[in-house]
Amino acid sequence: MSIIKTFDVVIIGAGGAGLRAAVEIPKEYSCAVLSKVFPPRSHTGTAQGGVCAALGNMEEDSPENHVFDTIKGSDYLGDQDKIEIMCYDAVRAIIELEHMGLPFSRNAEGKIAQRKFGGHTKPVDPNEPFGKRVPVDRACYSADRTGHVMLQTLYENCIKNSVNFFSEYFVTEIIIENGICKGVVAFDISTGEIIIFHSKVVMVATGGYGRVYRITSNAHVGTGDGTALIYNAGLPLEDMEFYQFHPTGLWRLGILVSEAARGEGGILKNKDGERFMARYAPSVMDLAPRDMVSRAIITEIREGRGIKGSDGTDYVFLDVSHLGKKIIDEKLPEITGFARTYLGVEPTKEPIPIQPTAHYAMGGIPTNENCEVFLNETGDIVKGLYAAGECACVSVHGANRLGTNSLLDLVVFGRRGGKAINKFLQSVELSGINRDAADKSKYAMQNILEKSGNEKVYAIRTELQESMMDFCGIFRNENDLKKMVDKIKELKEKYKNISVQDKGKIFNTDLVEALELDNLISNAESTVYGALNRKESRGAHDREDFPARDDVNWLKHTFISKNGGQEPVIKYKPVTITKYQPMERKY
């Protein structure tokens, strides 16, 4: 029998969403936060450029402007009622973080400083919101380390709130019986000990799955463990085909070069020194939404205007040298430091080689505005199960997320989820649990350790990542997606024949990587089947064989569920539209 630890609340993931939820749990309830890493090492810490809110500290702005931009940026796939909640709650969310101690950069008046970010605009004439719009200073920031200071601030507040942290724990299963969530199964990486965390509530806040791609801005922990847990439990995932490529990752490495660089005035140039975004988004140019800029970069490269690198791959330039050393050192110290360290480029004197990098999952675990997880596409919920952050899909990002809306998503819905959990705890008792609930995980892990096949985890992972870049990247078509479906089936068979070198229990990272690979394959499967089925182009999902957006047939959310060893089951749910009818998306 397994060890059982009992808490009122178990949160999987110690990034911004999980910590923001944990802050809301009153001290009279016990709260455990489980993390694969030490909490301040969570991937939220790599977010650089800012968190947006219409504070109006630099120029006139309004939450309604933010709402319109987010809906338009989502290519009208975002649920407008949820977007309104997020954008109108943004101002309070930022002020609350400031009061918690987050050290925002300041303007000359001592207020929270704000800068421009892609897709964030305001109308030239307030009486004509659908007329000409111009970029607006809406992103609140702390130099280019916004996510890092947010993570540290929330962690400190959790410590003050007596939250229990279990660092280096890997969750292998969510326990759901008869539509009720009763806890999770996890193993302590440091000892190999398997433990049941029995609870009234579970929140999944595990982040994204960027490591399914070869070139990614995601940390190595970004293997989509939470979405895979839900998918493997037979619950649906929503809109997984919409995966965002950030236009500016360091060439070859994928390390993020924040949109803040363009927000401060950085310019994208091709091999001829041309500011090519004037061709694709003449009104906002380099500050167009990310899907448009990423496609523009790849188009420049395809048409021979990229720069050939020493390894045979292509890139374009991001030039910030004209901004001057003072602005670069004060507002962009981290990203320019990365360019110096990893590429040997001096950004004050020469342009930075960049290429699009896999960055953010718009889809994920379907939830309502209170972070309750859907049991199906009709909106029934799993009692006691919540999700927030990148692993969740509310949906406020739709087919394309605007920059800085990610950190806002974390704090707005992390808080809402925490408050909903607090209310739920007041009326629920701890359900009984089977003391053998961990047997499935024990068997699966033991099976991996006992395998003696000739397939290596790293080789399968590399093949998956390279294939996803080739066949399910920025541009897609039916032929490539069908190749990727076949590749996933092939890799699943190879996975059955893996072996791990380390057979021990203490810090067995070989075992962890094997479990992560299984999760990556699950995330790839849900992404590819959704992409193959959606026969249109919308936001980050660009089908070369279906280049037009099709609102008649495809203005709907994808719900995909695992179906044993068969093809996944795909169903659909209408998009919620309140006040903004879909229109052509131009900038």
- Catalytic positions, written as ranges: 290
Give me 296's structure tokens. 């523009």
Report cis status (omega within 30 of 0) of the bond before 395: yes
Give me 357's structure tokens. 């990098």
Q: Which residues pair with 497 in a beta bridge?
A: none
Which are the contacts of 446, defined by CB distance < 8 A and separation ≥ 6?
none
Query: 63-73 and 80-100 are packed helices; what angle lies between their axes, rounded to 10 degrees?
Result: 120
Phi, psi dihedral angles at 147 (to 5 degrees): -65, -35
> What single string gives the DSSP state of each residue in 419-481?
HHHHHHHTT-PPPP--TTTTHHHHHHHHHHHH---SB-HHHHHHHHHHHHHHHSSSEE-HHHH
Provide the residue type at 129 as one letter: P
> What single string gives the DSSP state of each residue in 181-246?
EEEEEEEETTT--EEEEEEEEEEE-----GGGSSSBSS-TT-S-HHHHHHHHTT--EE-TT-EEEE
3-state secondary structure of 490: helix
Dist. CA 413–CA 368, nearest whole Å: 10
CB 9 within 8 A of CB 200: yes
Provide the H-helix boundaries in 3-101: 16-23, 63-73, 80-100
Dist. CA 516–CA 227, nearest whole Å: 12
Dist. CA 99–CA 200, nearest whole Å: 31
Which are the contacts of 310, defined by CB distance < 8 A and separation ≥ 6?
none
